[in-house]
Structure 1
Amino acid sequence: MSIERLLKAFELEKRVLGAGKLSCPRQVIEAAERALGVRFPPTYRYYLEHIHLNTSTPILGVSVAQDGGLSKYSGVFLTFDARKYEIPLPPKYVLIDQEHGFQHVIDTTQVNSSQQSPVFSWHAEEFLLKYADFDAFYLERVNGAIYSYMIEKADEDEEGLSREEVEAYIQLHHSLGFTETEHEFLRRHWDTLRDQAN
């Protein structure tokens, strides 16, 4: 819906998981768009420029080559592979994540009044509309990464996960001003986190 929500999600990630301060040159992003034959929605472009090289969330994006151009190892090029599947990915879809046999894609053929495009879970046999726009997708990935980090800390870390850490995460989530809908992931999982805490 907005770059503002994208920044809130990144702030959440930085405060809990940490993040770097790199940026991706715009010409690299534009080269990726030309290569794929699409125009990225504004929030995904902003994500690629300011967040992707700094995040620990597993979202596909771009990498910068030594000469400052688009690296051939950029995640966006997995879109080309997906276009060659037995049931190919449609040409205006951009692959941004893969999990459990599904590909999460941005459908650049659908553009709303804010120039944003929806994110689908795409499978050879079905389409599932999961997110109205990229920033909603990123927020859920950030929350998922934080949840995994905390569960892993509870299971493997010698000191474990403290209840104070869980409450601080919940408080931070609320203090950033997310809507009730955006708190859904947190509400579904906070009891589990509290149960795991010391």
Structure 2
Amino acid sequence: MTGIEASRQVIELVRANEETASPGQGCSHDTIARAERELGLTFPPSYRLLIEEFGTWGAPPTEFLGVYQTERAGDVLLGSVTETLDARSEVGMPPELMVVLLDDVWLYAVLDTSQPDEDGEYPVFAWNPGVLDGGLMERIADSFGEFALKECREKLS
């Protein structure tokens, strides 16, 4: 299954379970382009599709970061953008990594943008700043779509 196919299944699953899931309002192409500029990274297709659809979303207790804004934060892009930039400055996360989920077990779930596949997807890794040799701990999935689908199936099925 490709990352895009998995992301389409996530959309169906979240929409079918809106009483449990917490989908956001989606994100415009301009906001996504701005997020990529601020990060200096490009979103892979499966992540981009889900951000376009939801902006941010949850399958409780899992909360996917996505990209979103709030009235209180004003023009600041929250979610993956702020968490990635904060992790770079506060704990020395390498610039090729993008935070997509905060987790009690892994600490960070990240996309490694230095390892694109033929579809432009990046693998998902657990990353922890306390682990030697760059903090990468384990490969969680081959694409964000596959990672999100596994998490959503566990929480929403």
TM-score, normalised on structure 1? 0.64
Matching residue of 1:43: 46
Q: CA deviation at 1:73?
A: 4.9
> Which AA in structure 2 matches 1:139?
L
Deviations 1:15-68 (CA, angstroms, capped at 9, x unpaired): 134465833110100100000100111111111111334x323011211466xx
1:138 paired to 2:148: yes
Structure 1: gaps of 5 or more residues: 147-168, 170-198
> Which AA in structure 2 matches 1:120?
F
For the aligned residue pairs, the C-alpha RMSD in angstroms reads 2.2
Higher relative contact order (CA 8 A, sep 6+): 2
CA distance in 2 between partners of 1:90 and 1:131 (Å): 19
1:116 paired to 2:118: no
Bigger-Rg structure (1/2): 1
CA distance in 2 between partners of 1:105 and 1:46 (Å): 17
**Percent identical across equivalent pairs?**
27
Q: Is the 8 A contact 1:24 1:64 kept in 2?
A: no
Matching residue of 2:102: 98
Structure 2: gaps of 5 or more residues: none
Task: Decide which structure has greater helix share.
Answer: 1
CA distance in 1 between partners of 2:94 and 2:152 (Å): 27
SS at 1:23's partner residue?
coil
> Aligned pair in 2 of structure 1 residues 65, 20: CA closer, same or farther (>3 Å)?
closer
Matching residue of 1:63: 68
> Aligned pair in 2 of structure 1 residues 106, 5: CA closer, same or farther (>3 Å)?
same
How many residue pairs end up in the alignment?
142
Q: CA deviation at 1:84?
A: 2.1
Deviations 1:136-187 (CA, angstroms, capped at 9, x unpaired): 11112212332xxxxxxxxxxxxxxxxxxxxxx5xxxxxxxxxxxxxxxxxx
